Structure 1
Amino acid sequence: MIATLSNYGLQKYQFGKDVRKMRQMYGMSGKIIYEGRWMQGRTDPIIVVEMNEVITEREAAFYLEVNNHLHIISTLGYIENSVKLTIFIQEYAPQGDLAGYLMDNPNTFTLPSFAEVFLQIADAMSYIASKRIVHGDLGCRNVLVFRVDETQLKNNLVRITDFGLARFIDKKPARANELVIPVRYCAPEILRTNRHSDYSEKSDVYSLGVLIWEALSNSEIPYSAVDKDDVVKEMKLNNEKLTRPHPCSDGLWNLMKKCWHTNPDVRPSFALINEELSHIDVSDSRDVRSSISLHEIPTNYKYELDEDIRIQNLLGGQFGKIYEAEWISRKERPIVVIQMDTEPSEYEAMVYTNFDLHRNIVDTFGFV
Structure 2
Amino acid sequence: KYGSCLVCPITFSLFCDPVIAEDGHTYERQAITDWIQHNSTSPLTRESITITGLRPNHVVRNLIDEFRKTLSKHNYKFKLGVDIERSQKPFFQTTGKAIFEAKWIGNPNGPPIILLKLFGARAEKEASFYEHLTRHPHIVYTYGLVEQSKGTSNTFVMLLQEMAPEGSLINVLEHCSEKYPNIPLSDLLLNHIFLQICDAMIFLSSKDIIHGDLACRNVLVFHFDIQEPNRTLVKITDFGISRGNTIYSKIDAVATVINTIPLRSSAPEVLQNSDDDSTDVYSEKTDMFVMGVLMWEAYSNGQMPWSEINRESIVRQKVINGERLSRPDNCKSDCQWNLILKCMSQNPDDRPTFQELAKQLTEFINLPINSNLSNSCQSINISKNSSIIEQEKEKLDESPQSSFIIQETDHNNADNCHEPIRPSPSLAGVNVASRRKFFEKVFEPQRPLSPTKSLPIRKNTAVTPPREELIKLTKWH
Is the structural similarity TM-score above 0.5? yes
Residue of structure 2 aligned with 1:284, choices 348, 366, 372: 372
Aligned to 2:235, what secondary structure does the other structure show? strand
Matched, 1:254 2:338: yes
Native 8 Å contact 1:172 1:196 kept in 2 = no
Instruction: Give the partner amino acid of 2:284.
Output: E
Shift of 1:41: 4.5
Q: Mark the CA change 1:210 to 1:11 in structure 2 (over 3 Å): closer, same or farther.
A: same
Alignment of 1:193-342 (within 5 A): 193-194=273-274, 195-248=278-331, 249-280=333-364, 283-284=371-372
- Aligned equivalents of 1:203, 1:241: Cα separation in 2: 15
Shift of 1:68: 0.8
Matched, 1:155 2:231: yes
- Give the superposed CA RMSD: 3.2
Identify, as 1 or 2, the structure richer in strand: 1
Q: Which residue of 2 aligns with 1:319?
A: none
Q: Which residue of 2 aligns with 1:344?
A: none
Instruction: Give the partner amino acid of 2:237.
Output: T
- Aligned equivalents of 1:18, 1:77: Cα separation in 2: 12
Instruction: Give the partner amino acid of 1:205.
Output: M
- Aligned equivalents of 1:8, 1:128: Cα separation in 2: 27
Alignment of 1:40-189 (within 5 A): 40-52=107-119, 54-57=120-123, 63-64=130-131, 66-81=133-148, 82=150, 83=152, 84=154, 86-106=157-177, 107=183, 109-163=185-239, 164-165=241-242, 167-168=244-245, 179-189=259-269
Residue of structure 2 aligned with 1:37, choices 103, 110, 115: 103
> 5+ residue gaps in structure 2?
1-70, 178-182, 375-477
Q: Which residue of 2 aligns with 1:192?
A: 272
Q: Mark the CA change 1:30 to 1:209 in structure 2 (over 3 Å): closer, same or farther.
A: closer
Native 8 Å contact 2:242 2:257 kept in 1 = no
Shift of 1:120: 0.5
> 5+ residue gaps in structure 1?
1-5, 287-368
Identical pairs, percent = 35
Native 8 Å contact 1:134 1:168 kept in 2 = yes
- Aligned equivalents of 1:244, 1:31: Cα separation in 2: 32
Look at both structures and tell me which one has the larger radius of gyration over its CA atoms.
1
Aligned to 2:114, what secondary structure does the other structure show? strand
Shift of 1:162: 1.2
Aligned to 2:227, what secondary structure does the other structure show? coil
Q: TM-score, normalised by structure 1?
A: 0.67
Aligned to 1:196, what secondary structure does the other structure show? coil
Q: TM-score, normalised by structure 2?
A: 0.53
Q: Which residue of 2 aligns with 1:25?
A: 91
Shift of 1:215: 0.5
Aligned to 1:105, what secondary structure does the other structure show? helix
Native 8 Å contact 2:243 2:279 kept in 1 = no
Shift of 1:122: 0.9
Q: Which residue of 2 aligns with 1:15?
A: 80
Residues 191-215 of structure 1: CA deviation (Å, up to 9, x unaligned)? 1123422211001000000000010
Q: Mark the CA change 1:178 to 1:150 in structure 2 (over 3 Å): closer, same or farther.
A: closer
Native 8 Å contact 1:251 1:280 kept in 2 = no
Q: Which residue of 2 aligns with 1:312?
A: none
Q: Mark the CA change 1:108 to 1:26 in structure 2 (over 3 Å): closer, same or farther.
A: same
Native 8 Å contact 2:221 2:234 kept in 1 = yes
Aligned to 1:133, what secondary structure does the other structure show? coil
Native 8 Å contact 2:142 2:159 kept in 1 = yes
Native 8 Å contact 1:167 1:173 kept in 2 = no
Higher RCO (CA < 8 A, seq sep 6+): 2
Q: Which moved more, 1:233-242 or 1:200-209?
A: 233-242
Native 8 Å contact 1:76 1:90 kept in 2 = yes
Aligned to 1:279, what secondary structure does the other structure show? helix
Native 8 Å contact 2:77 2:144 kept in 1 = yes
Native 8 Å contact 2:78 2:147 kept in 1 = yes
Instruction: Give the partner amino acid of 1:237.
Output: I
Q: How many residue pairs get matched? A: 280
